[in-house]
Amino acid sequence: MRLEDLKDQYPKTPGFISEMIEKEVEKQIHTQESTGCGRKNNQVWTLGRTATAAAVACVLIGTGAYAAVNAYRNYHMNLEQKGSYRVVTGVTVDTENQTTEALPDQIAEIKIATSYIPEGMEWKDERHLDYINTDSKGGFSFASVLIGDGNLKEGLTDTSVEESEQTTFGEHEGVYLKYHTVKEETHFNQRIYLLCPEEERVVILYIGSDVSKEEAYKVAEGITLKKTGEMVSTGELEDWNTFIQLQNGELTEGEELVNASEKEGTGDLSHIYTIGEDIQKDATLAQDSAGNDIESKEVSMKVDQIQLADDLSLLDIKYIPDSWKNVTDESGRLKDNEASYVKRGDGVDTLDEVVRTENFPAKLVYATLTFTNQGEQDLKNIHYYIEMALLDQTETGYQRYDYEAQSGEDYDYIEWNGALSLDGGMQYYGSQNDNGKNYISSLAAGESTEVNVAWIVNEDDLGRMYLEVSGSGTDLTEEDIEQAVLVDVRQ
């Protein structure tokens, strides 16, 4: 991934599929960010805890310059209820066997635009429409797939849907879905499938819970697909049938979707760094003095100090994330982290239900790190990403402690409030860059600089803490542990 692409990313956030819609958003993000905008992937994909993320579907998409050739086609979108909370969304075409004709080898590339933007929102980039004064991962994320060639008989099944509607958005047929969530914080809990036959496309709107249904409808009604003037191979783009298979977790074209949270096993680490020990990483993303993207092997780092606190007094107020604005009580002390124990519904006739809650004392973990340019050339825009990993040491190695995997007699999984740094990604980082992101503006040859990052964790987990410092910005999954660059910061 290029440096300028990484600059547009925030630390990642997790999501849900079937039971919780954000996992599906994350799967689409991992799929599309690793291959391009809705393009096919020829490697094994790993769905870890996320994100951050961000979260974030591609908007630059291929489209049919051949639409005029196929103008006689009459596509429709339909919605069928298959239980109290399960629906099937289908695309049909007016042919005898519901089969479309073959696609051309190349089609015109386009981007999504809308004539309506909700008040307080702006385009963060061509992929996201977000509220300006918040760092929460809500708003809109856009994606698209080809209607495709071949059989359209199979529909897309969504579960845990508490509200659905088939309607017309402006000139386009579409389906609106709202998913059930047990959390009150921002989720991508709404979705619109928008049929755009003029460009042989289905456009997907992932919509945050911070957007009202009325505003979502207005955005969808104003959507147009605009040609960029470039062409793209249709073989590189996903179609509706592939999209369905990916959502269902099925195998497609020999590619297996692997859910890393379901993997078992441990990582056998040959060396774990300690506080104060210099770490020479394989490579650090940066730019040279001429502004060229490089991977420097000359940048070292070390963890100087770990501090614990019961409040946010260690933090620079201007970098405190929105999700932490209400984590303290009237005296300024951190509120307890609240765990909701959830019994899983089948998503068809029953929904996920909170059976009980429990509070756990919270701690702020504040890390001070030093980065040093050991090379002979000056560097700028140096990227860093530090992840908090909770690990249990076993007889054979180390195993990730996964809250999502916890279950009991009366519950199937745990949901936590927004303060807990559950996904391990950076939520607070003292910036050294004018754009407020996780980059060091400049580092001359031989120069060192200090960076601060922080997490909110359960006090019970202070003895499980390790920092993963490779800087990749990816989630630490079971198969990654053996190759991870870890620092023991247990307290």
Question: Do 331 and 395 belong to one domain?
Answer: yes
Band (272; pLDDT cuts 50, 70, 90): confident
Question: Do 78 and 108 belong to one domain?
Answer: yes
C-alpha closest to that of 180 among 261, 87, 269, 317? 87
- Choose one of 202, 224, 258: the last residue of a domain: 258
| Token pair listed for 490 | 């247990």
**Per-residue model confidence as pLDDT tens digits over 88-111:** 999 888 766 556 667 778 888 888
Higher pLDDT: 321 or 255? It is 321
**Per-residue model confidence as pLDDT tens digits over 346-361:** 999 999 999 999 999 9
Residue 266 lies in a domain: no
Question: Do 109 and 63 belong to one domain?
Answer: yes
Residue 212 lies in a domain: yes
Residue 264 lies in a domain: no
Instruction: Note the pLDDT of residue 185.
Output: 67
- Choose one of 258, 286, 314: the last residue of a domain: 258
461: which strand partners? none
Instruction: Note the pLDDT of residue 309.
Output: 96
Specify the DSSP element, H or E, that contains 242: helix 240-247
- Choose one of 258, 288, 321: the last residue of a domain: 258
Spatial separation of the C-alpha atoms in residues 8 and 49, rounded to whole Å: 20
Sort strands 61-62 and 106-114 into parallel, antiparallel or unpaired: antiparallel
Residue 424 lies in a domain: yes
Question: Do 38 and 132 belong to one domain?
Answer: yes
Residue 322 lies in a domain: yes
Question: Do 188 and 286 belong to one domain?
Answer: no
pTM of structure: 0.66
Instruction: Note the pLDDT of residue 227.
Output: 85
Tell me which range, 42-46, 320-324, 429-433, is most confidently predicted by mean pLDDT.
320-324
Task: Give residue 223's domain range.
Answer: 3-258
Question: Do 339 and 206 belong to one domain?
Answer: no
Higher pLDDT: 112 or 398? It is 112
Lowest average pLDDT, out of 136-140, 344-348, 369-373, 386-390, goes to 136-140
Q: What's the whole-number mean pLDDT along residues 288-305?
A: 90
Spatial separation of the C-alpha atoms in residues 351 and 85, rounded to whole Å: 8
Residue 268 lies in a domain: no
| Token pair listed for 366 | 């504040």
Phi, psi of 260 (to 5 degrees): -65, -30
Question: Do 287 and 363 belong to one domain?
Answer: yes
C-alpha closest to that of 258 among 244, 243, 246? 246
Residue 267 lies in a domain: no
Spatial separation of the C-alpha atoms in residues 162 and 160, rounded to whole Å: 6
Question: Do 310 and 254 belong to one domain?
Answer: no
Is residue 128 within 8 Å of residue 135, measured between CB atoms?
A: no
- Three-state DSSP at 464 gives helix
Specify the DSSP element, H or E, that contains 25: helix 22-35
Which residues of 312-438 form beta strands (DSSP E)?
337-343, 353-360, 362-373, 379-383, 387-393, 398-400, 413-416, 428-429
State yes or no: pLDDT of 314 exceeds 50: yes
Specify the DSSP element, H or E, that contains 23: helix 22-35
Spatial separation of the C-alpha atoms in residues 446 and 214, rounded to whole Å: 56
Q: What's the whole-number mean pLDDT along residues 49-68?
A: 34
Number of domains in the chain: 2
Higher pLDDT: 92 or 275? It is 275
Question: Do 189 and 292 belong to one domain?
Answer: no
Is residue 242 within 8 Å of residue 44, measured between CB atoms?
A: no
- Three-state DSSP at 447 gives coil
Residue 69 lies in a domain: yes
Question: Do 214 and 279 belong to one domain?
Answer: no
Question: Do 144 and 284 belong to one domain?
Answer: no
Q: What mean pLDDT value characterizes the chain?
A: 77
Using alpha carbons, list the distances in angstroms from residue 12 to 1, 36, 119: 16, 18, 26
Using alpha carbons, list the distances in angstroms from residue 436 to 7, 332, 342: 10, 25, 36
State yes or no: pLDDT of 384 exceeds 90: no
What DSSP designation does 83 have?
Answer: S
Spatial separation of the C-alpha atoms in residues 292 and 377, rounded to whole Å: 12
Question: Do 307 and 184 belong to one domain?
Answer: no
